[in-house]
Structures are given as C-alpha cells and as structure tokens.
Amino acid sequence: MNTIDKAPIEFYFDFSSPYGYFGSCRIDDIGQRHGREVIWRPYLMGAAMKLSGAKPLVERELICDYAHRDIPRSARRFGIPFNPPPPPFPLASIAACRVFYWLCDGDPAQARDFARRTYAALFVDGRNISEVDVVVDLASAAGANADDTRSALGDQAVKDRLRQETDGAIARGIFGSPYVIVDGEPFWGNDRLDEVDKWLETGGW
Amino acid sequence: MNTIDKAPIEFYFDFSSPYGYFGSCRIDDIGQRHGREVIWRPYLMGAAMKLSGAKPLVERELICDYAHRDIPRSARRFGIPFNPPPPPFPLASIAACRVFYWLCDGDPAQARDFARRTYAALFVDGRNISEVDVVVDLASAAGANADDTRSALGDQAVKDRLRQETDGAIARGIFGSPYVIVDGEPFWGNDRLDEVDKWLETGGW
C-alpha cells in the first residue's frame, strides 16, 4: 500500500458523539481500502456548536426523538456494538481529549487505542468518561502510566494543545462529528462515510 | 407491480429546501423499484424548525458555508440540474403548498407535476416561487385554470388544509426536508435515501 503521495484523511470527532463513535468504527477501513492514512482529531464540538447556532440533540424537540430511534438503528445497520449511555449525557469530553493529544504527541497509535477504548467505555459499557478517574483508567489500559496521565491532565501545555486543536478546527469551518476532510473536501456525518468512500474510489465529482 | 399489500412511502418536503428538491428527483425511482406508491406531502418546515430549535441553514455560521459547498456537490453526484437560487432565499413556500393540496384533492398526479415544476422553477430557473403570480403560472403549466388557482389561494378551506397538513406532520415528529416514512420507520435527509432503498430491499435491520 503506497501512501506516500496521497494526502491523509482527517477524521474530526467529539468523544460524546454517538455518530462520531460509529464513524470511528468505519473510517480506518475506508482509509485502508484507498491507501490513505487516517489522522484522528478529537475536538470540543460544543465550542463549534455555539458558533453554528446548534443545540445538543437532547435539547431539541422532534430531532431528539428521531435521534433516539436513529442511533441504535444506525448501530444495527453497521453491526457496531452499542448501548445507549446512561445519564449524564451528553457529557464533557475535555479530559479524554487532553489525554488523547498528550498520548498522540508521543505515539499516535497509542492515542488511537485510547480513543477506541474511550468510545467503547461510553457507548458500550456505559461508563462516565467525563470523570478523571475513568479517563486515567482507560489511558492505563492503553499502556500509559496512571500518575503521568494525572499530571498531564493538569499540565497547561496539554490544555493549550487541546485549545489550539479546537480553535483550529473551528477556523477550518468544522462543526460536527464525525466530520471528515479528504483532499480539501469536507464531509459531515456518519451518513456521509459511504460518500467519502465513493469520492476516493472515483476521484470525486 | 403489486402495490396492493404494501404501505406507501410518505415523502415529506418543503418547497424551499434544496435537499428536498434532490429527494424529489430520486424518491419515485425508489418507490418503483420496490413496488411502493409514493405520497408527496409538502409542508411548512419553518413551523417545525421553531419547535426543534433549528435555524435556517443560511443563518448558521459554519454550517452555512458547508451547505453552500455540499448542495451543488450533491446535485453533481446525483446528476440533478441545479443552479443556486438568487435572493431571496430561503423563501416562503406557503402559496406553492396551498396550490399543491388544492390540486392534490382533485388529481394527485397533477399536483405532483406542479410540485416538480415548482422545484425546477426555484432550483434550476431561479424564479421566486414565493410570489403568487409565479405559482399561478406554474399551476397553469400543470394544466390548472389561472383564475381558479387565484381563487383557491384565497380560499379558507385551502388554507385550513395546509395548516392541518403541517400540524399533522409536526404531530408525527417530522421536522426536516426531505423526511421519509416507510412502514413506520422515519428517515431524515437526502443522504438517507440510499438507506431507504436498502431498508426496503432487505426488510430492515
């Protein structure tokens, strides 16, 4: 697989987004099929939602009911393990995001392992990933030292790193989860990943 | 084609919605492929958007930029003629909706012809379909008498008919365009029509 000349797929997501979770279970296969590296880029979608005028799904009448039906249906369609998370939901993903980038700057594969564990913790096991103890536990499972993880969570440089990532995402016009950019083309939503696949296959339209 | 035992596909849309227009160009083929009648049901999406807390795309930073890119790209993907409509946009579709139901109660096929002409007028020819004269002209092209159309537009029964349709749509939880219901399953968005097709093919999941 020659990935030297091809731009990577950038995969933006928020850890509290079920559609982001579904995308995370599918995007690497799409990358592999087309010889593209996939860069995982969690960010704080809430900051973008303020700008885009969107409210969380659970606060939006009608759409909320639809989402409650569509989310498990989407999981079934793609054969992805899913259990509706218990309250509180949606929840703050800031600790998980900080740990992700702290790990990523050392070893992107380890960060991705952590991200997968975090999504499964929330959307399969129903754990509260907004809690520092849970995030430290998940980082440990991915091979990180627990004390180092706790230190990183309080490190100003790590906080700044996430802020830059989120500001950068918003500056690029990103507002959803998942949100994919490939060859300069943006695609919003798990329901557009088939389109990403087709775009890469055909060279676009 | 035996459509006797199969429930129809209900196709909800707003005349000022570009994704509704794209859906209108695709839904009848899907119905035909699976031996399902398609019932076209325009409604006033703005009334539902108030409830769902959504703002029109053009008022939503970030999402607006994405939509301006995605809408023509979606048209290209599906080979649908499209020209971005000139201002004012979005526009009021109330007159077009009223004429649709007035025609529909006499001849559903004529109403559908009028709907197709209305969508093409807005999204291909750039005409202002919020204007009564334009709507009367389109109804005439679909075979209706111009004076009768003007009378219908002022008829309280016709106004009530549309109000009932819109209230009924909201009571069913409908908020978007296009929005499809088949065998009790709701599907929101032009980007879910492939899923509708697959659902009908497989019997669901």
pLDDT band at A56 (very low <50, low <70, confident <90, very high): confident
pLDDT in tens, B93-151: 999 999 999 999 999 999 999 999 999 999 999 999 999 999 999 999 999 999 999 99
- Do A30 and A9 form a contact (C-beta atoms < 8 A)? yes
Query: Do residues A145 and A110 make contact, with C-beta atoms less than 8 angstroms apart?
Result: no
Burial B97-112 (b: 16+ CB within 10 A, else e): bbbbbbbbeeeeebbb
CB B182 within 8 A of CB A73: no
C-alpha span between A194 and B153 (Å, rounded)? 43
* Min Cα separation A151/chain B (Å): 35
The whole-number pLDDT of residue B56 equals 72
Give the chain B residue nearest A61 (alpha carbons). Answer: B52
Stretch A74-100: mean pLDDT: 96
Size of the A and B interface in Cβ pairs below 8 Å: 72
d(CA A38, CA A77): 23
Q: Which chain A residues are closer than 8 Å to B200 by Cβ? A: none
Amino acid at B25: C
What is the predicted pLDDT for the residue at B67?
93
Which residue blocks in A34-145 are alpha helix, DSSP H?
A: 45-52, 63-78, 94-104, 108-123, 132-141
| 8 Å CB contact of B188 and A53 | no
Q: Is B37 within 8 Å of chain A by CB?
A: no
For residue B191, pLDDT over 70 is answered with yes
Say yes or no: B66 contacts chain A, CB-CB below 8 A: yes
The pTM for the full model equals 0.94
Cβ neighbours of B205 in A, within 8 Å: 73, 76-77
The C-alpha atoms of residue A124 and residue A130 are separated, in whole angstroms, by 15
Residue B86 has pLDDT above 90, yes or no: yes
Q: Do B186 and A53 touch (CB under 8 A)?
A: no
**Residue A168 to residues A11, A103, A165: CA-CA distances in angstroms?**
14, 19, 5
Query: Mean pLDDT throughout B171-196?
Result: 96
Cβ–Cβ gap A191/B186 under 8 Å: no
Mutant choice from A62, A64, A170 vs B, greatest count of B C-beta within 10 A: A62
What span, in angstroms and rounded, lies between the C-alpha atoms of A113 and A121? 12
- Say if the Cβ atoms of A63 and B54 lie within 8 Å: yes
The answer to whether A68 contacts chain B (CB < 8 Å) is no
Report the gap between the CA of B178 and the closest CA in chain A (Å): 14
Tallying the residues shown for chain A, one arrives at: 205
Q: What is the reported pLDDT for A38?
A: 98
Cβ contact, residue pair B52, A65, below 8 Å:
no
Tokens describing residue B151:
């009378």
- Contact: B69, A186; criterion CB under 8 Å: yes
Identify the closest residue of chain B to A196 by CA–CA distance: B77
- ipTM of this predicted complex? 0.91
- pLDDT value at position A4? 54
**Are B11 and B108 spatial neighbours (Cβ–Cβ below 8 Å)?**
no
